[in-house]
Amino acid sequence: MQLRLISWFFITLNFMEYIGSQHASRVRRQGRMHPNVSQGCQGGCATCSDYNGCLSCKPRLFFVLERIGMKQIGVCLSSCPSGYYGTRYPDINKCAKCKADCDTCFTRNFCTKCKSGFYLYSGKCLEKCPDGLEANNHTMECSSIVHCEASEWSPWSPCTKKGKTCGFKRGNEVRVREIVQHPSAKGNPCPATSESRKCIVQRKRCQKEGKGKKNREEKRKKSNKDESKETRQESKGRAARRQNREQRENNNKTQPKKRKAPNKEQDLAPVDTAH
């Protein structure tokens, strides 16, 4: 009985020593993997080491590995850099790489911007756009083909010839329209924006600009001359009438009054001598 108890004691002691040795070995391995683990890190790290940089990040930050030569260090960022997309997990937020032809992406299978030489279409980066679409070298996307559109024709212009509307019988009249939508590279080209046709009008004589101006000046001068002449004649007439009136008044003042001639019949009447 005593021997059985002693054997059980040694078995239990050896088992405890084995467990202790395993724990010490695990601690040594962790020390080799993460030497100098620190809780007081900078730059958004929750835990870090001198050799590996950040080992875990503070809440809401993304953990990403950056390569420096042959070495990779962990950093914590508020958003993932170009060429990466963010994934959130309960214990850690990580930045994962986009596809090789993708510059920025929402997920690994949905690109938002392609690298040079590729065109974006429905979240994918393509070297050539599908049929019915064309490559837009400005936005680097596959877009719909746009055809040219023109407005309605304007009314026909008056019949002219060499910029004039007189002095001819046969001329030309023109109508125009505007481009309201310019085409894309593969779109239908724009039609003509002007159109002309022959026209016939009743010939009318053109009045020369210099001669017409000269005639207008002569008419104006003649009119002014006639008005001046009439004004002078009226002034002379008023002056003559005033002079005649004054002369008559003066004559009336200077001439003596004429005596009334006696009535001869009265002078020759018989004198009553009956007295």
Residue 173 CA to chain centroid, in angstroms? 34
Comma-separated ranges of CATH 2.20.100 domains in the chain = 150-200
Q: Where does the chain hold its CATH 2.10.220.10 domain(s)?
A: 42-97
Tell me the CA distances in angstroms from 77 to 62, 80, 143, 210, one per residue in order.
5, 7, 35, 84
With a CB cutoff of 8 Å and minimum separation 6, the contacts of 198 are 170, 171, 172
Given this model, what pLDDT does residue 21 score? Answer: 52
pTM attached to this predicted model: 0.45
For the domain bounded by 150-200, which CATH number is listed?
2.20.100
d(CA 25, CA 45): 28
DSSP 114-147: EPTT-EEETTEEESSPPTTEEEETTTTEEEE---
pLDDT tens-digit map of 169-201: 889 999 999 999 999 888 999 999 999 999 988
The token duo for 118 is: 């590729």
Distance CA(29)–CA(48), nearest Å, equals 17
Per-residue pLDDT band at 52 (split at 50, 70, 90)? confident
Q: Is residue 177 within 8 Å of 156, Cβ to Cβ?
A: no
Query: What is the 8-class DSSP label of residue 23?
Result: H
Q: How many other CB atoms are there within 10 angstroms of residue 85's CB atom? A: 20
List, in sequence order, every residue forming a beta bridge with 93; answer none if it has no partner: 88
Note the pLDDT tens digit of each residue in 58-67: 988 999 988 8
Read off the amino acid at residue 231. Answer: T
Question: 42-97 has which fold?
Answer: 2.10.220
- pLDDT at position 122 is 92
More confident residue, 261 or 197: 197
* Token pair recorded at residue 186: 């593969």
The model's confidence at residue 31, banded by pLDDT at 50, 70 and 90, is: very low
Top pLDDT among 45 and 32 is at 45
pLDDT of residue 33: 43
Task: Calculate mean pLDDT across residues 224-244.
Answer: 74
Backbone angles phi, psi at 50, to 5 degrees: -70, -30
